[in-house]
Structure 1
Protein backbone atom coordinates (compact mmCIF):
# COMPACT_ATOMS: atom_id res chain seq x y z
CA UNK A 1 0.00 0.00 0.00
CA UNK A 2 1.42 3.38 -1.02
CA UNK A 3 1.34 6.50 1.15
CA UNK A 4 -1.58 8.05 -0.73
CA UNK A 5 -3.78 4.99 -0.32
CA UNK A 6 -2.84 4.68 3.36
CA UNK A 7 -3.78 8.32 3.94
CA UNK A 8 -7.11 7.79 2.20
CA UNK A 9 -7.95 4.73 4.29
CA UNK A 10 -6.96 6.58 7.47
CA UNK A 11 -9.22 9.50 6.49
CA UNK A 12 -12.17 7.20 5.82
CA UNK A 13 -11.59 5.39 9.13
CA UNK A 14 -11.52 8.72 10.98
CA UNK A 15 -14.82 9.87 9.47
CA UNK A 16 -16.38 6.48 10.10
CA UNK A 17 -15.30 6.37 13.73
CA UNK A 18 -16.62 9.87 14.34
CA UNK A 19 -19.97 9.15 12.75
CA UNK A 20 -20.42 5.86 14.57
CA UNK A 21 -19.70 7.63 17.84
CA UNK A 22 -22.18 10.42 17.11
CA UNK A 23 -24.86 7.89 16.12
CA UNK A 24 -24.20 5.85 19.25
CA UNK A 25 -24.46 8.93 21.44
CA UNK A 26 -27.77 9.88 19.86
CA UNK A 27 -26.52 13.08 18.22
CA UNK A 28 -28.63 12.30 15.18
CA UNK A 29 -32.37 11.73 15.05
CA UNK A 30 -33.74 8.51 13.58
CA UNK A 31 -34.27 8.84 9.82
CA UNK A 32 -32.44 12.15 9.81
CA UNK A 33 -31.39 13.14 6.30
CA UNK A 34 -27.68 13.59 5.78
CA UNK A 35 -25.51 14.57 2.83
CA UNK A 36 -21.97 13.89 1.70
CA UNK A 37 -21.34 17.63 1.47
CA UNK A 38 -22.19 18.42 5.11
CA UNK A 39 -20.08 15.55 6.47
CA UNK A 40 -17.18 16.45 4.16
CA UNK A 41 -17.34 20.01 5.51
CA UNK A 42 -17.58 18.84 9.13
CA UNK A 43 -14.45 16.67 8.92
CA UNK A 44 -12.58 18.71 6.31
CA UNK A 45 -12.25 15.78 3.91
CA UNK A 46 -13.18 14.98 0.32
CA UNK A 47 -16.64 13.78 -0.64
CA UNK A 48 -15.10 10.58 -2.01
CA UNK A 49 -13.81 9.75 1.50
CA UNK A 50 -17.26 10.45 2.94
CA UNK A 51 -18.83 8.28 0.25
CA UNK A 52 -16.59 5.38 1.28
CA UNK A 53 -17.52 5.90 4.94
CA UNK A 54 -21.21 5.94 4.00
CA UNK A 55 -20.83 2.54 2.35
CA UNK A 56 -19.55 1.14 5.64
CA UNK A 57 -22.47 2.71 7.53
CA UNK A 58 -24.85 1.07 5.07
CA UNK A 59 -23.22 -2.28 5.92
CA UNK A 60 -23.69 -1.46 9.61
CA UNK A 61 -27.40 -0.93 9.00
CA UNK A 62 -27.02 2.66 10.19
CA UNK A 63 -27.54 4.41 6.87
CA UNK A 64 -30.19 3.80 4.22
CA UNK A 65 -30.04 4.98 0.63
CA UNK A 66 -33.51 5.89 -0.65
CA UNK A 67 -34.62 5.52 -4.27
CA UNK A 68 -34.51 9.30 -4.74
CA UNK A 69 -30.87 9.43 -3.58
CA UNK A 70 -31.77 10.73 -0.11
CA UNK A 71 -29.62 9.27 2.66
CA UNK A 72 -31.21 8.61 6.05
CA UNK A 73 -29.45 7.69 9.28
CA UNK A 74 -30.70 5.05 11.69
CA UNK A 75 -30.18 5.37 15.41
CA UNK A 76 -28.74 2.67 17.65
CA UNK A 77 -31.49 1.53 19.98
CA UNK A 78 -32.36 -1.50 22.08
CA UNK A 79 -33.56 -3.50 19.07
CA UNK A 80 -30.38 -2.74 17.13
CA UNK A 81 -28.28 -4.04 20.03
CA UNK A 82 -30.47 -7.11 20.45
CA UNK A 83 -30.30 -7.94 16.73
CA UNK A 84 -26.54 -7.41 16.67
CA UNK A 85 -25.96 -9.69 19.68
CA UNK A 86 -28.30 -12.36 18.31
CA UNK A 87 -26.48 -12.39 14.98
CA UNK A 88 -23.14 -12.54 16.74
CA UNK A 89 -24.36 -15.43 18.88
CA UNK A 90 -25.54 -17.44 15.86
CA UNK A 91 -22.23 -16.94 14.07
CA UNK A 92 -20.01 -17.72 17.06
CA UNK A 93 -21.99 -20.78 18.12
CA UNK A 94 -21.62 -22.14 14.60
CA UNK A 95 -17.89 -21.38 14.71
CA UNK A 96 -17.59 -23.41 17.92
CA UNK A 97 -19.55 -26.29 16.37
CA UNK A 98 -17.20 -26.35 13.38
CA UNK A 99 -14.10 -26.31 15.58
CA UNK A 100 -15.14 -29.19 17.84
CA UNK A 101 -16.05 -31.25 14.77
CA UNK A 102 -12.68 -30.69 13.09
CA UNK A 103 -10.17 -33.51 13.39
CA UNK A 104 -7.20 -31.24 13.93
CA UNK A 105 -7.01 -27.79 15.51
CA UNK A 106 -4.08 -25.59 16.42
CA UNK A 107 -4.89 -23.80 19.69
CA UNK A 108 -1.50 -22.09 20.03
CA UNK A 109 -2.70 -18.58 19.11
CA UNK A 110 -5.93 -18.89 21.08
CA UNK A 111 -4.11 -19.95 24.25
CA UNK A 112 -1.59 -17.15 23.79
CA UNK A 113 -4.47 -14.66 23.74
CA UNK A 114 -5.98 -16.24 26.87
CA UNK A 115 -2.64 -15.77 28.61
CA UNK A 116 -2.71 -12.16 27.50
CA UNK A 117 -5.93 -11.60 29.48
CA UNK A 118 -4.18 -12.69 32.66
CA UNK A 119 -1.19 -10.44 31.92
CA UNK A 120 -3.40 -7.46 31.06
CA UNK A 121 -5.14 -7.68 34.43
CA UNK A 122 -1.80 -6.94 36.09
CA UNK A 123 -1.63 -3.53 34.38
CA UNK A 124 -2.11 -0.84 37.04
CA UNK A 125 -3.29 1.94 34.75
CA UNK A 126 -7.06 1.41 34.46
CA UNK A 127 -7.53 3.02 31.06
CA UNK A 128 -4.63 1.15 29.54
CA UNK A 129 -5.77 -2.10 31.19
CA UNK A 130 -9.29 -1.82 29.79
CA UNK A 131 -8.02 -1.00 26.31
CA UNK A 132 -5.82 -4.10 26.43
CA UNK A 133 -8.76 -6.25 27.53
CA UNK A 134 -10.98 -4.95 24.75
CA UNK A 135 -8.30 -5.60 22.12
CA UNK A 136 -7.67 -9.09 23.48
CA UNK A 137 -11.39 -9.84 23.46
CA UNK A 138 -11.62 -8.90 19.79
CA UNK A 139 -8.51 -10.95 18.97
CA UNK A 140 -9.87 -13.99 20.83
CA UNK A 141 -13.19 -14.07 19.00
CA UNK A 142 -11.57 -13.29 15.68
CA UNK A 143 -9.18 -16.21 16.17
CA UNK A 144 -12.07 -18.58 16.80
CA UNK A 145 -13.45 -17.69 13.38
CA UNK A 146 -10.03 -18.05 11.77
CA UNK A 147 -9.77 -21.56 13.23
CA UNK A 148 -12.93 -22.66 11.41
CA UNK A 149 -11.23 -22.00 8.05
CA UNK A 150 -14.73 -21.22 6.76
CA UNK A 151 -14.29 -18.21 4.48
CA UNK A 152 -17.99 -17.30 4.34
CA UNK A 153 -18.36 -17.45 8.11
CA UNK A 154 -15.24 -15.32 8.56
CA UNK A 155 -16.66 -12.75 6.15
CA UNK A 156 -19.94 -12.61 8.09
CA UNK A 157 -17.95 -11.92 11.24
CA UNK A 158 -16.05 -9.12 9.50
CA UNK A 159 -19.33 -7.48 8.50
CA UNK A 160 -20.53 -6.99 12.09
CA UNK A 161 -17.12 -6.69 13.79
CA UNK A 162 -16.62 -2.91 13.28
CA UNK A 163 -19.89 -1.96 14.97
CA UNK A 164 -19.29 -4.42 17.77
CA UNK A 165 -15.82 -2.98 18.29
CA UNK A 166 -17.17 0.57 18.47
CA UNK A 167 -19.77 -0.31 21.10
CA UNK A 168 -17.43 -2.48 23.17
CA UNK A 169 -14.84 0.32 23.28
CA UNK A 170 -17.56 2.62 24.63
CA UNK A 171 -18.41 -0.02 27.20
CA UNK A 172 -14.82 -0.11 28.40
CA UNK A 173 -14.50 3.67 28.59
CA UNK A 174 -17.89 4.58 30.09
CA UNK A 175 -18.80 1.70 32.38
CA UNK A 176 -17.00 1.96 35.74
CA UNK A 177 -18.49 -1.36 36.84
CA UNK A 178 -17.12 -3.36 33.91
CA UNK A 179 -16.34 -6.89 35.11
CA UNK A 180 -12.68 -7.01 34.14
CA UNK A 181 -11.74 -10.20 35.96
CA UNK A 182 -14.47 -12.15 34.20
CA UNK A 183 -12.50 -11.76 30.98
CA UNK A 184 -9.82 -14.29 31.86
CA UNK A 185 -12.13 -16.88 33.42
CA UNK A 186 -14.74 -16.89 30.64
CA UNK A 187 -12.31 -16.92 27.74
CA UNK A 188 -10.13 -19.57 29.37
CA UNK A 189 -13.23 -21.73 29.89
CA UNK A 190 -14.19 -21.41 26.22
CA UNK A 191 -10.69 -22.37 25.09
CA UNK A 192 -10.58 -25.39 27.40
CA UNK A 193 -14.02 -26.60 26.28
CA UNK A 194 -13.01 -26.28 22.63
CA UNK A 195 -9.84 -28.29 23.23
CA UNK A 196 -11.88 -30.96 25.03
CA UNK A 197 -14.36 -30.97 22.11
CA UNK A 198 -17.07 -30.43 24.69
CA UNK A 199 -20.37 -29.71 22.85
CA UNK A 200 -21.54 -27.65 25.83
CA UNK A 201 -19.19 -24.92 24.60
CA UNK A 202 -21.85 -23.99 22.03
CA UNK A 203 -24.42 -23.19 24.72
CA UNK A 204 -21.82 -21.42 26.85
CA UNK A 205 -20.68 -19.31 23.90
CA UNK A 206 -24.31 -18.40 23.22
CA UNK A 207 -24.64 -17.07 26.75
CA UNK A 208 -21.23 -15.38 26.63
CA UNK A 209 -21.83 -13.35 23.48
CA UNK A 210 -25.60 -12.82 23.61
CA UNK A 211 -27.08 -12.71 27.10
CA UNK A 212 -24.12 -11.43 29.11
CA UNK A 213 -22.72 -9.15 26.41
CA UNK A 214 -26.14 -7.77 25.50
CA UNK A 215 -26.82 -6.69 29.08
CA UNK A 216 -23.49 -4.86 29.16
CA UNK A 217 -24.07 -3.17 25.81
CA UNK A 218 -27.62 -2.08 26.64
CA UNK A 219 -26.41 -0.63 29.93
CA UNK A 220 -23.63 1.37 28.32
CA UNK A 221 -25.97 2.53 25.52
CA UNK A 222 -28.39 3.93 28.09
CA UNK A 223 -25.53 5.50 30.04
CA UNK A 224 -23.90 7.09 26.98
CA UNK A 225 -27.10 8.52 25.54
CA UNK A 226 -28.34 9.83 28.89
CA UNK A 227 -25.04 11.69 29.38
CA UNK A 228 -25.41 13.19 25.92
CA UNK A 229 -28.95 14.36 26.79
CA UNK A 230 -27.64 16.05 29.95
CA UNK A 231 -24.97 17.88 27.94
CA UNK A 232 -27.67 19.20 25.61
Structure 2
Protein backbone atom coordinates (compact mmCIF):
# COMPACT_ATOMS: atom_id res chain seq x y z
CA UNK A 1 0.00 0.00 0.00
CA UNK A 2 1.34 3.41 -0.99
CA UNK A 3 1.53 6.04 1.74
CA UNK A 4 2.85 9.16 0.00
CA UNK A 5 4.72 11.57 2.25
CA UNK A 6 6.52 13.99 -0.05
CA UNK A 7 8.06 14.12 -3.48
CA UNK A 8 11.43 15.58 -2.66
CA UNK A 9 14.43 14.92 -0.47
CA UNK A 10 14.47 17.18 2.57
CA UNK A 11 15.12 17.02 6.29
CA UNK A 12 11.38 16.96 6.97
CA UNK A 13 10.82 14.14 4.48
CA UNK A 14 13.58 12.06 6.06
CA UNK A 15 12.06 12.69 9.47
CA UNK A 16 8.62 11.59 8.24
CA UNK A 17 10.02 8.40 6.71
CA UNK A 18 11.95 7.60 9.90
CA UNK A 19 8.85 8.24 12.03
CA UNK A 20 6.71 6.02 9.80
CA UNK A 21 9.19 3.14 10.00
CA UNK A 22 9.47 3.53 13.79
CA UNK A 23 5.67 3.47 14.05
CA UNK A 24 5.55 0.29 11.94
CA UNK A 25 8.01 -1.39 14.31
CA UNK A 26 6.15 -0.10 17.35
CA UNK A 27 2.89 -1.40 15.91
CA UNK A 28 4.31 -4.84 15.21
CA UNK A 29 4.10 -4.47 11.41
CA UNK A 30 7.87 -4.83 11.06
CA UNK A 31 9.33 -7.69 13.08
CA UNK A 32 12.76 -8.02 14.74
CA UNK A 33 15.24 -9.44 12.26
CA UNK A 34 13.09 -8.47 9.27
CA UNK A 35 15.08 -7.21 6.28
CA UNK A 36 14.16 -3.79 4.89
CA UNK A 37 14.93 -2.62 1.36
CA UNK A 38 15.19 0.93 0.07
CA UNK A 39 13.05 0.10 -2.97
CA UNK A 40 10.16 -1.10 -0.82
CA UNK A 41 9.94 2.14 1.13
CA UNK A 42 10.54 4.31 -1.93
CA UNK A 43 7.41 2.72 -3.40
CA UNK A 44 5.45 2.82 -0.17
CA UNK A 45 6.06 6.48 0.64
CA UNK A 46 6.68 7.90 -2.86
CA UNK A 47 9.94 9.51 -1.76
CA UNK A 48 13.48 9.49 -3.11
CA UNK A 49 15.89 6.64 -2.49
CA UNK A 50 18.24 9.08 -0.74
CA UNK A 51 15.47 10.02 1.74
CA UNK A 52 14.91 6.37 2.62
CA UNK A 53 18.65 5.72 2.90
CA UNK A 54 19.10 8.65 5.26
CA UNK A 55 16.08 7.55 7.33
CA UNK A 56 17.64 4.07 7.63
CA UNK A 57 20.90 5.62 8.79
CA UNK A 58 19.12 7.78 11.36
CA UNK A 59 17.18 4.82 12.78
CA UNK A 60 20.34 2.71 12.86
CA UNK A 61 22.00 5.46 14.91
CA UNK A 62 18.97 5.41 17.23
CA UNK A 63 19.32 1.63 17.65
CA UNK A 64 16.06 0.63 15.98
CA UNK A 65 17.67 -0.76 12.80
CA UNK A 66 21.05 -2.32 12.15
CA UNK A 67 23.23 -3.13 9.12
CA UNK A 68 24.15 -6.80 8.82
CA UNK A 69 26.72 -8.31 6.43
CA UNK A 70 25.15 -9.98 3.38
CA UNK A 71 21.64 -8.95 4.52
CA UNK A 72 21.65 -5.17 4.56
CA UNK A 73 19.28 -3.23 6.81
CA UNK A 74 17.24 -5.22 9.34
CA UNK A 75 15.08 -4.41 12.34
CA UNK A 76 17.40 -4.73 15.29
CA UNK A 77 16.90 -7.53 17.79
CA UNK A 78 18.37 -6.98 21.26
CA UNK A 79 20.00 -9.61 23.47
CA UNK A 80 18.83 -10.00 27.05
CA UNK A 81 22.01 -8.32 28.27
CA UNK A 82 21.45 -5.39 25.92
CA UNK A 83 17.92 -5.02 27.27
CA UNK A 84 19.27 -4.91 30.83
CA UNK A 85 21.90 -2.34 29.86
CA UNK A 86 19.37 -0.22 28.03
CA UNK A 87 16.90 -0.17 30.91
CA UNK A 88 19.63 0.61 33.43
CA UNK A 89 20.52 3.75 31.50
CA UNK A 90 16.90 4.55 30.71
CA UNK A 91 15.91 4.32 34.38
CA UNK A 92 18.62 6.75 35.43
CA UNK A 93 17.74 9.23 32.69
CA UNK A 94 13.98 9.03 33.24
CA UNK A 95 14.53 9.65 36.95
CA UNK A 96 16.65 12.67 36.03
CA UNK A 97 13.85 13.95 33.78
CA UNK A 98 11.36 13.57 36.62
CA UNK A 99 13.67 15.43 39.00
CA UNK A 100 14.09 18.30 36.55
CA UNK A 101 10.41 18.51 35.67
CA UNK A 102 8.94 17.93 39.15
CA UNK A 103 9.09 21.58 40.36
CA UNK A 104 7.20 22.76 37.27
CA UNK A 105 4.52 20.08 37.59
CA UNK A 106 4.24 20.73 41.33
CA UNK A 107 3.59 24.39 40.62
CA UNK A 108 1.09 23.64 37.85
CA UNK A 109 -0.10 20.00 38.01
CA UNK A 110 -3.19 20.19 35.79
CA UNK A 111 -1.66 18.71 32.63
CA UNK A 112 -0.06 15.86 34.57
CA UNK A 113 -3.25 15.10 36.48
CA UNK A 114 -5.31 15.17 33.28
CA UNK A 115 -3.00 12.62 31.64
CA UNK A 116 -3.12 10.39 34.73
CA UNK A 117 -6.92 10.50 34.63
CA UNK A 118 -6.81 9.45 30.97
CA UNK A 119 -4.58 6.49 31.84
CA UNK A 120 -6.94 5.49 34.65
CA UNK A 121 -9.88 5.52 32.24
CA UNK A 122 -7.94 3.44 29.69
CA UNK A 123 -7.24 0.81 32.33
CA UNK A 124 -10.90 0.75 33.42
CA UNK A 125 -11.93 0.32 29.77
CA UNK A 126 -9.33 -2.42 29.19
CA UNK A 127 -8.04 -0.26 26.32
CA UNK A 128 -4.52 -1.60 25.81
CA UNK A 129 -3.83 0.37 22.64
CA UNK A 130 -4.96 3.63 24.23
CA UNK A 131 -3.02 2.92 27.39
CA UNK A 132 0.11 2.23 25.36
CA UNK A 133 -0.11 5.63 23.68
CA UNK A 134 -0.85 7.39 26.96
CA UNK A 135 2.08 5.63 28.62
CA UNK A 136 4.36 6.92 25.87
CA UNK A 137 2.99 10.44 26.36
CA UNK A 138 3.46 10.18 30.13
CA UNK A 139 7.17 9.44 29.81
CA UNK A 140 7.66 11.94 27.00
CA UNK A 141 6.05 14.69 29.07
CA UNK A 142 8.80 14.55 31.68
CA UNK A 143 11.55 14.56 29.08
CA UNK A 144 9.99 17.57 27.37
CA UNK A 145 9.34 19.50 30.59
CA UNK A 146 12.90 18.93 31.81
CA UNK A 147 13.95 21.52 29.21
CA UNK A 148 17.09 19.61 28.32
CA UNK A 149 17.34 18.91 24.60
CA UNK A 150 20.10 16.30 24.96
CA UNK A 151 18.15 14.40 27.61
CA UNK A 152 14.98 14.49 25.48
CA UNK A 153 16.84 13.28 22.38
CA UNK A 154 18.67 10.50 24.24
CA UNK A 155 15.51 9.17 25.85
CA UNK A 156 13.81 9.20 22.45
CA UNK A 157 16.56 7.05 21.01
CA UNK A 158 16.44 4.61 23.91
CA UNK A 159 12.68 4.27 23.49
CA UNK A 160 13.13 3.51 19.79
CA UNK A 161 15.36 0.58 20.68
CA UNK A 162 12.65 -1.20 22.65
CA UNK A 163 9.48 -0.28 20.75
CA UNK A 164 8.91 -3.78 19.41
CA UNK A 165 9.51 -5.41 22.80
CA UNK A 166 7.04 -3.07 24.45
CA UNK A 167 4.48 -3.87 21.75
CA UNK A 168 4.79 -7.61 22.31
CA UNK A 169 4.56 -6.99 26.02
CA UNK A 170 1.39 -4.92 25.64
CA UNK A 171 -0.27 -7.55 23.48
CA UNK A 172 0.57 -10.55 25.66
CA UNK A 173 0.91 -9.24 29.20
CA UNK A 174 -1.99 -7.82 31.17
CA UNK A 175 0.53 -6.97 33.90
CA UNK A 176 1.23 -3.80 31.94
CA UNK A 177 -2.03 -2.35 33.26
CA UNK A 178 -0.69 -2.82 36.77
CA UNK A 179 2.10 -0.36 35.99
CA UNK A 180 -0.48 2.41 36.15
CA UNK A 181 -0.29 2.18 39.94
CA UNK A 182 3.38 3.17 39.61
CA UNK A 183 2.39 6.11 37.41
CA UNK A 184 0.15 7.29 40.22
CA UNK A 185 2.99 6.99 42.75
CA UNK A 186 5.11 9.28 40.57
CA UNK A 187 2.27 11.78 40.21
CA UNK A 188 1.34 11.71 43.90
CA UNK A 189 4.94 12.31 44.96
CA UNK A 190 5.21 15.28 42.60
CA UNK A 191 1.95 16.77 43.90
CA UNK A 192 3.27 16.34 47.44
CA UNK A 193 6.47 18.19 46.49
CA UNK A 194 8.70 15.14 47.07
CA UNK A 195 10.89 15.05 43.97
CA UNK A 196 13.17 12.34 45.40
CA UNK A 197 10.24 9.99 45.99
CA UNK A 198 8.99 10.71 42.46
CA UNK A 199 12.40 9.85 41.02
CA UNK A 200 12.57 6.62 43.03
CA UNK A 201 9.08 5.66 41.85
CA UNK A 202 10.07 6.28 38.22
CA UNK A 203 13.22 4.16 38.55
CA UNK A 204 11.13 1.32 39.99
CA UNK A 205 8.56 1.74 37.23
CA UNK A 206 11.21 1.46 34.51
CA UNK A 207 12.79 -1.56 36.19
CA UNK A 208 9.38 -3.25 36.38
CA UNK A 209 9.15 -2.90 32.60
CA UNK A 210 12.60 -4.45 32.29
CA UNK A 211 11.60 -7.44 34.41
CA UNK A 212 8.40 -8.00 32.46
CA UNK A 213 10.22 -7.86 29.14
CA UNK A 214 12.77 -10.36 30.40
CA UNK A 215 9.90 -12.79 30.99
CA UNK A 216 9.36 -13.04 27.23
CA UNK A 217 10.55 -16.26 25.51
CA UNK A 218 14.12 -16.54 24.22
CA UNK A 219 13.05 -16.22 20.59
CA UNK A 220 12.27 -12.54 21.23
CA UNK A 221 15.95 -11.85 21.84
CA UNK A 222 19.19 -11.97 19.91
CA UNK A 223 21.90 -14.41 20.96
CA UNK A 224 24.28 -12.99 23.54
- Answer yes or no: same fold by TM over 0.5: yes
**Tell me, what secondary structure is at the counterpart of 1:154?**
helix
**Tell me, what secondary structure is at the counterpart of 2:175?**
coil
1:207 matched to 2:204? The reply is: yes
Check conservation: 2:94, 2:143, Cα contact below 8 A.
Answer: yes
Check conservation: 2:93, 2:155, Cα contact below 8 A.
Answer: yes
Which consecutive residues of structure 1, in runs of 5 or more, have no partner in the other structure?
A: 29-37, 227-232
**Tell me, what secondary structure is at the counterpart of 1:4?**
coil
Give TM-score, length-normalised by structure 2: 0.73
Check conservation: 2:101, 2:146, Cα contact below 8 A.
Answer: yes
RMSD of equivalent CA atoms: 3.6
Partner of 1:142: 140
Which consecutive residues of structure 2, in runs of 5 or more, have no partner in the other structure?
A: none
Give distance in 1, aligned partners of 2:169 and 2:151. 26
Partner of 2:66: 63
Give distance in 2, aligned partners of 1:91 and 1:139. 16
Aligned pair in 2 of structure 1 residues 133, 225: CA closer, same or farther (>3 Å)? same
The alignment covers a number of residue pairs equal to 206
Check conservation: 1:121, 1:180, Cα contact below 8 A.
Answer: no
Aligned pair in 2 of structure 1 residues 202, 169: CA closer, same or farther (>3 Å)? same
1:131 matched to 2:134? The reply is: no
Q: Deviations over 1:32-67 (max 9, x none)?
A: xxxxxx70244453522431331233222342599x
Check conservation: 2:18, 2:59, Cα contact below 8 A.
Answer: no
Partner of 1:217: 213
Give distance in 2, aligned partners of 1:137 and 1:206. 15
Give distance in 1, aligned partners of 2:80 and 2:111. 34
Partner of 1:117: 119
Give TM-score, length-normalised by structure 1: 0.71
**Tell me, what secondary structure is at the counterpart of 2:85?**
helix
Give distance in 2, aligned partners of 1:107 and 1:95. 16
1:160 matched to 2:162? The reply is: no
